[in-house]
Amino acid sequence: MTSPISTPAPSTTTHAHTRTADEAASQQWWRDAVVYQVYPRSFADADGDGMGDLPGVTAHLPYLRDLGVDAIWLSPFYTSPQHDGGYDVADYTDVDPRFGSLADADEMIARAHELGLKVVVDIVPNHSSSDHVLFQQALAAAPGSPERDMYMFAEGRGENGELPPNNWTSIFHGPAWTRITEADGAPGQWYLHIFDTSQPDWNWKNPRVHELMQDVLRFWLDRGADGFRVDVAHGMVKPEGLPDATVNAEGLIDIPEGEVPVYFDNDGVLDIYREWRPILDSYEGDRMMVLEAWIPEHRLPLYIGDEKAHQSFNFGFLQARWGVETMRAAIEKPLALADAVGSPTTWVLSNHDVIRHASRYGFAPDHRFGEGLARDEVPDAELGLRRARAATLLMLSLPGSAYLYQGEELGLPEVSDIPDELREDPAHLRAGVPGRDGCRVPLPWVQDAPAYGFSSTGESWLPQPAEFGPLAVDQQLGVDGSVLEMYRSALHLRRKLQLGVQSEAAGVVFAQTAPDGVLVLDRGDLRVVVNTTSAPVPLAEVTDDQGYEVLLRSVPTGPDGAEQVAADSALWMRLTR
Ligand code: NOJ
């Protein structure tokens, strides 16, 4: 049953952060930017070795400019053995030869700037690669030495130190400690790795670690980086005494709903951002940092602010189930928090760690969003893509910055049939879970080209499925109703209508009443309608008897559908009142 919609004016849920004179004077670009995440291994391969590279990124920057994004964020392209796709950094101030050279990085940054695109680079401060020269030196040095003190080494428990120092487990499954063999061949100390064995955690109690990472920031700021995406931004400082975590009946670390494991979100982490902020502020331009911090919402104000980090990913929207109440809550909460911290929220639906949203929405709502898909987990692909398109239109209508993940603008699905022997995600190798490779398959650019135009030689470090062909850029560009054209239109309209900007006049106002299963929100005279039901809804039921002009639909509609909001779809309309 539907009920008529009423005029939304007296809503109590207006979120209008009034801009101060300072903000108005200097419109900090990141506050309303659309940032496109490039996963360098899988974006474009210029040298034909089957792995993407920086020259490949540079060559395709005009595509991103034309798409309508404001900035790119690149996952790590630094020297790395690639045990965790580059999030295992062996040298923070050099480019891995697979991705090119420092000169290629300079060229990419310069070209992006020429095209008006900002460049955000990744920084990985919680851990390095075990190949890092300082970890190798720590292994070679004696327990208690300054070299060991750069990382989290500890004596084991048990009679002969044969048990790990505590019961922590790795995010990638299995123990979070590995025992080493000392120089004399005897079993020795243990080192902490919250992630893979090849990713030892830095010891942030050591001032030398602080200095090292500050130098890394300066290195990339000097080369023109406009900002940093901070990896595991809530992880660096561990609790005093490294206490055991409480475990549940299955012997796994017990993490109550809404909380984080004991090794995350410790207050010492906050000091790091207070140290970093003046460094960023000492450079011209609005250099920024966005935190990858999976923290309880109420902790966010501790991380974000004028003397702290600029913003943090808001993963609540990504995790929100398809439905009016869930999505509305996932919008209201971060907007209220943004008001509280004085920094706009961020929106994100996909990234290189989660199941692509075109597939995610094709499952029952309680399906997990991480650790990839197994071959026998088959989503309703058509429904998933329809809902993904609608969720994207909803996201792009909201104030704050939005982060897009490469390939979502093509509607790429998660790939579930990658042969196990080709999977590289350490979580797969450690625990046999499908892992995140399925969202990292190289992009299709041209349907009738080797590796769909990803690489001239036809090489591709992960096989691309046949279903990628029709989704290639050349098949969608200029094609009315394609996913790519929906993104391009939405991004251009978002910029034109300044939808990313929080303002008194265009706060988010939810309709007090709307047809069942339909989310209706206004931004000034723009009305956004999301029909989460499986039946079309007449436009007359969501227009309050006002004049309107439909600006954009998430799915094309035939003549029959012109006066409807199609099932599982969204639209933007201008109310003419
Ligand atoms: C978060 C990154 O996004 C993920 O890809 C990586 O595996 C972990 N941090 C560890 O660096």
CA 232 to ligand 1 centroid distance, Å: 7
What φ, ψ does residue 49 adopt, rounded to 5°? -90, 5
Match 């398809």 to its residue by tokens: 322
pTM of the model: 0.95
231 belongs to the catalytic site: yes
CA 201 to ligand 1 centroid distance, Å: 13
Q: What is the structure's pLDDT at 12? A: 32
Whether 425 is in the pocket of ligand 1, judged by its Cβ within 6 Å, is no
Segments of the chain with pLDDT less than 70 = 1-26
189-228 pLDDT per residue, tens: 999 999 999 999 999 999 999 999 999 999 999 999 999 9
Q: For residues 526 and 519, what is the distance between their CA atoms, to the nearest angstrom?
A: 14
Q: For residues 574 and 543, what is the distance between their CA atoms, to the nearest angstrom?
A: 10
Atom in ligand 1 nearest the alpha carbon of residue 351: 3
Whether 313 is in the pocket of ligand 1, judged by its Cβ within 6 Å, is no
Whether 291 is in the pocket of ligand 1, judged by its Cβ within 6 Å, is no
Q: What is the structure's pLDDT at 257? A: 80
Residue 292, SS3 per DSSP: coil
Whether 201 is in the pocket of ligand 1, judged by its Cβ within 6 Å, is no
Whether 87 is in the pocket of ligand 1, judged by its Cβ within 6 Å, is yes
Atom in ligand 1 nearest the alpha carbon of residue 75: 3
Q: What is the structure's pLDDT at 4? A: 29
Q: What is the structure's pLDDT at 26? A: 53
Q: For residues 226 and 112, what is the distance between their CA atoms, to the nearest angstrom?
A: 11
34-78 pLDDT per residue, tens: 999 999 999 999 999 999 999 999 999 999 999 999 999 999 999
Active-site annotation holder among 226, 231, 353, 437: 231
Atom in ligand 1 nearest the alpha carbon of residue 232: 9
292 belongs to the catalytic site: yes
Sign of the alpha-carbon torsion through 390, 425, 433, 228: negative
CA 487 to ligand 1 centroid distance, Å: 27
Length of the chain in terms of residues written: 577
CA 421 to ligand 1 centroid distance, Å: 21
Whether 195 is in the pocket of ligand 1, judged by its Cβ within 6 Å, is yes
